[in-house]
Structure 1
């Protein structure tokens, strides 16, 4: 499924590049509110950041926007359901530093200097570093705090361009289990708000 999605996206990028009337390059920074969904634990959102660059290739309305940015995201677990199916209060904290590479397909409405955009597409997250602290209650969960080095998801959202300034609001849904445990599935999800500046 992942290979099919990326194949379609890269074919679309190739087509858009060959048909491109405009090419823009910019930088971006922002914040995210992330959470790891797990059916055996209760969790809370954690605030993170992102900083990186984007390119936009396309015509008057349709465009492709690949990006690359360093981000911080994580989660706070507040309770855990043990092997006796009893929920107990137990804290656990996880923090990731990631290199995120989304490839978004979008359309825009309005003029060159003032327009509204909608976009969606896949995102690959490479985990550069992770740190975690868990109470002893989580020790019975094999590989619970042992994480994979990459995750795959999909982003969707909207944005506004005012001159060289852009503002984007997106939701990212995780499509893969980032835990190495097959029993205790963990899927990251987040909202992100970013401010961008077009330099080309």
Structure 2
């Protein structure tokens, strides 16, 4: 996957200098709904934010390539509750993974402003932490955030699939799903065979200059 991404970047450089017809710059931001699959798969998505810059390189009237640089807050969230005569007890675990993501999207305009997108993504870990909250009788008994950078790999790879709509004034909306392609568990510091993979839905808005 790593070799595929850098090969894509090299091909992008060649295509851009050879076939580029139009280049646009822009900004984008939105909301992440992220989760982790594998040995710690949970039912609840963690809500975070993403945002950054992009360059769109037009190759034809319908086809373009769009490299991006995005800050992205991902992870997972889970809540466990127990009910008894004395009240409600709860345990909440929030895994927060902050990445600098670099996707390279291939876009195809279907009709008017509607387009489909697909492309690889590499993510560089900025920070990883886990927050644990324990409560009972409506009171917080335990609340601690622990840095877990040593348990998460520094680099993540994935594949994006998306759908977008662009208006003539430069405003656009898009939705994207990122499928984690590699295990992000740092096996040197975790049990051998532990597997964790990122999964993220993104919904956002942007403006192309």
TM-score (normalizing by structure 1) = 0.81
C-alpha change, 1:145 and 1:42, in structure 2 (3 Å) is farther
Q: Is the 8 A contact 2:35 2:42 kept in 1?
A: no
Q: Is the 8 A contact 1:42 1:78 kept in 2?
A: no
For 1:9 and 1:67, how far apart are their aligned partners in 2?
Answer: 12
**CA offset at residue 4 of structure 1?**
2.9
**Which of 156, 162, 171 is the equivalent residue of 1:157?**
162
TM-score (normalizing by structure 2) = 0.77
For 2:173 and 2:47, how far apart are their aligned partners in 1?
Answer: 18
**Which of 156, 167, 177 is the equivalent residue of 2:173?**
167
State the structure with more CA Rg.
2
Flag structure 1 segments of 5+ consecutive residues without an equivalent.
Answer: 80-88, 136-142
Residues 67-120 of structure 1, C-alpha deviations (whole Å, 9 max, x = no match): 0011111102457xxxxxxxxx9753210121110001121134xxx4111110
Residues 98-152 of structure 1, C-alpha deviations (whole Å, 9 max, x = no match): 1110001121134xxx4111110111111111111359xxxxxxx9981111211
C-alpha change, 1:41 and 1:172, in structure 2 (3 Å) is closer
SS for the counterpart of 1:44 is coil
Equivalent residue runs for 1:1-200 within 5 Å: 1-39=1-39, 41-58=41-58, 59-77=60-78, 91-110=92-111, 114-133=112-131, 146-163=151-168, 164-180=170-186, 181=190, 182-199=192-209
Q: Is the 8 A contact 2:42 2:76 kept in 1?
A: no
C-alpha change, 1:8 and 1:28, in structure 2 (3 Å) is closer
Flag structure 2 segments of 5+ consecutive residues without an equivalent.
Answer: 81-89, 134-147
**CA offset at residue 62 of structure 1?**
1.0
* Aligned-residue RMSD, C-alpha: 2.4
Q: How many residues align?
A: 180
